[in-house]
């Protein structure tokens, strides 16, 4: 930037701070849009749309323009890049993760990703963890952790088709479901002590009714008692068990 352009820029910033003139802000935004796009590219990660990042970078640019004080003698780009980067990092933390990741780790992942991209462009190959550590100032352990966590940045959809796209099977079809048999066994273990304490006749009635699934008339015939008597004994026994182990266990 030549001295004349620099003086004009300073006048625009000074005028904006003094008056809030939208035209001055618009002129400065137009001038520095390439800086916003360049900064957004550095934060491109995985499937995050570059246009979304550019919009976030533009917001950071406007924020930097409104907060810049030319009287401090600092170049605007030196002030704007950290401001834009901060907005991009916040965007990545808040919207870019498919699972909960600590903020410190998120920032290390972004730093490692940028270093990997720069080193690959420079050397034409994937960098080693040691090279990434040298470039970022992180320890080798932190680099490895960031690489591992970064690989899980986007969660795979359970509805994603497996194999041939024409195959109706999706990932969720391979996920096991709860087996009701486990609950039955657990409930049976809960009821077992109470069943052992019942009189033998009541145990027999329960076994014939719920184990052999015999009707009350057949149970009455086998035991030599009336069906009404079987019904009363069955109800009384179930009520006693419910008091000991709970209605929910018997119902299931």
The residue that leads in pLDDT, 170 or 223, is 223
Same fold flag, 99-153 and 181-251? no
> Looking up tokens 């490692």, which residue turns up?
112
Indicate the CATH number for domain 181-251: 1.20.140.160
Q: Which fold has domain 99-153?
A: Arc Repressor Mutant, subunit A (1.10.10)
**Domain range annotation of the chain:** 1-96, 99-153, 181-251
Residue 199 banded pLDDT, cuts 50, 70, 90: confident
In three-state secondary structure terms, 158 is coil
Render pLDDT for 61-100 as a digit per residue (tens, 0 to 9).
999 999 998 888 888 888 888 889 888 877 766 665 555 6
Render pLDDT for 162-175 as a digit per residue (tens, 0 to 9).
655 555 666 556 65
- The reported pLDDT for the residue numbered 91 is 78
Mean pLDDT score of the chain, rounded to an integer? 77
14 φ, ψ (degrees, to nearest 5)? -65, -45
Q: Which fold has domain 1-96?
A: Rna Polymerase Sigma Factor; Chain: A (1.10.1740)
Judge whether residue 184 has pLDDT over 50. Answer: no
Q: How many CB atoms within 10 Å of residue 164?
A: 8
SS (H, E, C) 212-236: CCCCHHHHHHHHCCCHHHHHHHHHH
Judge whether residue 221 has pLDDT over 80. Answer: yes
Render pLDDT for 3-37 as a digit per residue (tens, 0 to 9).
657 788 889 999 998 998 999 999 999 999 999 99
- The reported pLDDT for the residue numbered 175 is 57
Judge whether residue 235 has pLDDT over 90. Answer: no
- The reported pLDDT for the residue numbered 165 is 55
Render pLDDT for 133-158 as a digit per residue (tens, 0 to 9).
999 999 988 898 888 776 655 545 55
């Amino acid at each position: 930037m030549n001295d004349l352009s620099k003086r004009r820029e300073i006048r625009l910033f000074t005028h904006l701070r003094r008056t809030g003139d939208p035209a001055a802000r618009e002129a400065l935004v137009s001038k520095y849009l390439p800086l916003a796009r360049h900064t957004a590219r550095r934060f491109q990660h995985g499937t995050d749309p570059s246009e979304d990042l550019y919009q976030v970078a533009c917001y950071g640019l406007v924020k930097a323009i409104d907060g810049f004080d030319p009287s401090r003698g600092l170049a605007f780009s030196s002030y704007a890049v950290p401001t834009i980067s901060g907005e991009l990092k916040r965007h990545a933390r808040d919207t870019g993760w498919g699972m909960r990741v600590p903020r410190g780790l998120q920032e290390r992942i972004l730093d490692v990703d940028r270093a990997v991209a720069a080193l690959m462009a420079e050397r034409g190959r994937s960098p080693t963890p040691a090279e990434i550590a040298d470039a970022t100032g992180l320890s080798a352990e932190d680099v490895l952790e960031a690489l591992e966590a970064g690989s899980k940045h986007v969660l795979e959809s359970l509805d994603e088709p497996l194999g041939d796209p024409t195959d109706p099977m999706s990932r969720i079809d391979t996920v096991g479901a709860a087996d009701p048999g486990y609950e039955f066994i657990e409930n049976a273990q809960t009821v077992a002590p109470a069943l052992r304490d019942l009189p033998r006749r009541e145990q027999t009635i329960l076994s014939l009714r719920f184990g052999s699934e015999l009707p009350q008339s057949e149970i009455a015939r086998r035991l030599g008692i009336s069906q009404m008597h079987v019904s009363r004994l069955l109800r009384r026994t179930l009520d006693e068990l419910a008091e000991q182990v709970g209605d929910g266990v018997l119902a299931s």
